């Protein structure tokens, strides 16, 4: 048997199968029921949302031999079947993108006066009508003014703004729109059931995102997934894989690495992607979109910083379009992004520990600093579970000392930002509560910055890597 793509196989055969667009469909059905179809329609809207489908259904409703003019064509009579097959003699589909000129419209006008051969009405669907030349438009306009009563025009376009007002005003206009996730999922589930396929909600969501809201693209994407895993149940992981989507947790991980400003980790991370065959450039692009989506909600970065990261990613991608080893491109981006942070990082202010402290009344705390140090890693993990950002903020934080009821937590000198974040009331509370719950005490935390000897070694390491990258690009970086 001939294989036909799913979106063609499942082009709705009746109005009840058309997803979304309920108001348009209801109005058209009513006009058919009452036999008040107008002589010209304009269907505007994006690709693959049902313009041609609806136009063909109107042709069916007007020409069904079994049910008369109907909103419920029989799908059995010869006219219905011919329309489904795309060879009904009284239905003319003209693609204005490849027939743009006045001659085509003239030819159309010559034939238009003949009565329908097999049906009640001749239906002319003119697709991408905005592509017609000016002369062709004018010729069409005259026809639209006074078409013979046995003719119905349905003009379709993805770019209604390019159509003359005089044309629009002669048509009944309907604006088709993108599908919502719910509408598309519903249709895809109907198709899945007919194809005997099990698919989960998360997969449908991912397919929807990839489709951009177009049903044709949604069905094609769905088909891609199910043919990749022929006969199997479809899960989110399989869908991610079939569509070559970069897993969310990887994007998340990368954000944290950039945030920690760790060039070495970053390079290792990109290498690990490369080792499993992921395209580093694709990854960085996806990361930009991911970051863009997160910036206004819950990114580790400020809006300004985030945008500058995205800008740098695209800048380097464009500059090294023809570079074959995309890993190196990744290294360079890392270097640039992390450089930004160094340039803009806050001046380091080490707050004087307030003198007042000594005056605070005696509090006895029944715990030793060693006990806390021993459990520090566990505490950090617990706190991060409550709020993931703490994982990053506390990554390099250590316990330094315990003075009465004050526990001092110290950060490396270059991580002033982490300290500032931890000092925020709602964030500090998370750590404080975690500690106090764990030891049954009531400690206050004080955050400090410190210089650390091994930190200098690390930046030396980083510099070696930077030099490698720089050599590769013949010193382009600086």
Ligand X SMILES: Nc1ncnc2c1ncn2[C@@H]1O[C@H](COP(=O)(O)OP(=O)(O)OP(=O)(O)O)[C@@H](O)[C@H]1O
Using CB under 5 A as the criterion, which residues of the chain lie in contact with Mg ion when the complex forms?
A: 51-52
Task: Report the residue number whose CB is nearest to ligand X.
Answer: 50
Q: Which of 13, 14, 72, 74 binds Zn ion (CB under 5 A)?
A: 74
Write the binding mask 47 to 66 for Zn ion: x where contact by CB under 5 A, - elsewhere: -----------------x-x
Bridge pairing between strands 398-403 and 406-412: antiparallel
Closest approach, Cβ 56 to ligand X, in A, equals 8
Note whether 152 and 58 are within 8 A (CB).
Answer: yes
Q: Which stretch binds ligand X (CB under 6 A): 10-18, 235-243, 394-402, 445-453?
A: 10-18
Under rule CB under 6 A, residue 52 binds ligand X:
yes
Q: Say how far apart CA 233 and CA 394 lie, in whole Å.
A: 41
DSSP letter, residue 406: E
Q: Count the Cβ atoms, other than its own, within 10 Å of residue 309.
A: 24
Q: Which of 69, 80, 246, 280 binds Zn ion (CB under 5 A)?
A: 80
| Residue number, 52 or 133, with CB nearest to Mg ion | 52
Q: Which of 33, 47, 142, 248 binds ligand X (CB under 6 A)?
A: 47
Sign of CA dihedral 139, 142, 145, 150: negative
- Quick one: which of 460, 433, 461 has its CA closest to 445? 433
Closest approach, Cβ 313 to Mg ion, in A, equals 36
Under rule CB under 6 A, residue 19 binds ligand X:
yes
Q: Which residues of 55-83 are buried (b: 16+ CB within 10 A; e: fewer)?
A: bbbbbbbbbbeebebbbbbbeebebbebb
Kindly give, in sequence order, each residue whose CB lies less than 8 Å from that of residue 22, ignoring residues fewer than 6 positions away: none
Q: Which of 29, 39, 51, 418 binds ligand X (CB under 6 A)?
A: 51
Q: Say how far apart CA 62 and CA 38 lie, in whole Å.
A: 11
Residue ranges in 151-210 that form contacts with ligand X under rule CB under 6 A: 156, 158, 187
| Residue number, 11 or 121, with CB nearest to ligand X | 11
Closest approach, Cβ 122 to ligand X, in A, equals 20
The four Cα atoms 102, 103, 109, 114 give a dihedral, to 10 degrees, of -170
CA 254 from chain center: how many Å?
18
Q: Which of 121, 170, 216, 380 binds ligand X (CB under 6 A)?
A: 216
* Residue 47 contact, options ligand X, Zn ion, Mg ion, none, Cβ 5-8 Å cut-off depending on partner type: ligand X
* Residue 18 contact, options Zn ion, ligand X, Mg ion, none, Cβ 5-8 Å cut-off depending on partner type: ligand X
What's the order of all strands across the beta sheet hosting 122-127? 91-95, 122-127, 151-157, 40-44, 172-175
| Residue number, 96 or 167, with CB nearest to Mg ion | 96
| Residue number, 185 or 214, with CB nearest to Mg ion | 214
Enumerate binding residues for ligand X (CB under 6 A): 7-8, 10-12, 18-21, 47-53, 127, 156, 158, 187, 215-216, 219
């Amino acid at each position: 048997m001939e294989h036909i793509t799913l979106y063609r196989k499942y082009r709705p055969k009746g109005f009840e199968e058309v997803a979304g667009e309920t108001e348009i469909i209801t109005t058209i059905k009513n006009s058919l029921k009452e036999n008040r179809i107008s002589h010209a329609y304009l269907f505007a809207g994006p690709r693959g949302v049902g313009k041609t489908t609806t136009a063909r259904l109107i042709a069916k409703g007007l020409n069904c031999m079994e049910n008369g003019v109907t909103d419920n064509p029989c799908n059995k009579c010869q006219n219905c079947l011919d329309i489904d097959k795309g060879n009904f003699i009284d239905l003319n589909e003209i693609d204005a993108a490849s027939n743009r000129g006045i001659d085509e419209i003239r030819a159309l006008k010559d034939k238009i006066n003949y009565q329908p051969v097999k049906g009640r009405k001749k239906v002319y669907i003119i697709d991408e009508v905005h592509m017609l030349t000016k002369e062709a438009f004018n010729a069409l306009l005259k026809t639209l003014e006074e078409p013979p009563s046995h003719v119905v025009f349905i003009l379709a376009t993805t770019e209604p703004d390019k159509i003359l007002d005089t044309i629009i005003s002669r048509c009944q206009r309907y604006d088709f729109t993108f599908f919502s996730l719910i509408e598309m999922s519903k249709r895809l589930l109907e198709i899945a059931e007919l194809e005997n396929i099990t698919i989960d909600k998360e997969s449908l969501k991912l397919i929807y995102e990839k489709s951009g809201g177009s049903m044709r693209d949604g069905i094609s994407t769905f088909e891609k997934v199910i043919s990749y895993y022929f006969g199997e149940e479809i899960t989110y992981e399989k869908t991610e894989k079939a569509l070559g989507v970069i897993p969310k947790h990887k994007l998340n991980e990368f954000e944290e690495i950039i945030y920690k400003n760790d060039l070495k980790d970053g390079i290792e991370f990109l290498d690990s992607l490369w080792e499993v065959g992921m395209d580093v450039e694709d990854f960085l692009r996806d990361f930009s979109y991911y970051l863009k989506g997160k910036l206004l909600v819950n990114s580790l970065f400020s809006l300004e910083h985030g945008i500058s990261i995205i800008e740098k990613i695209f800048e380097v991608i464009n500059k090294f379009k023809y570079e074959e080893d995309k890993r190196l491109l990744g290294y360079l981006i890392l270097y640039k992004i992390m450089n930004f942070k160094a340039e803009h990082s806050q001046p380091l202010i080490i707050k004087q520990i307030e003198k007042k402290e000594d005056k605070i009344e005696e509090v006895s705390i029944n715990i030793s600093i060693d006990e806390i140090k021993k459990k520090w890693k566990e505490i950090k993990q617990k706190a991060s579970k409550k709020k993931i950002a703490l994982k990053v903020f506390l990554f390099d934080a250590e316990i330094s000392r315990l003075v009465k009821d004050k526990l001092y937590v110290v950060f490396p000198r270059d991580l002033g930002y982490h300290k500032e974040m931890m000092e925020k009331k709602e964030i500090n509370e998370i750590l404080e509560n975690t500690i106090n719950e764990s030891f049954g005490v009531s400690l206050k935390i004080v955050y400090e910055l410190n210089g650390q000897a091994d930190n200098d070694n690390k930046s030396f390491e980083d510099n070696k890597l930077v030099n490698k990258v720089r050599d590769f690009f013949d010193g382009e970086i600086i």
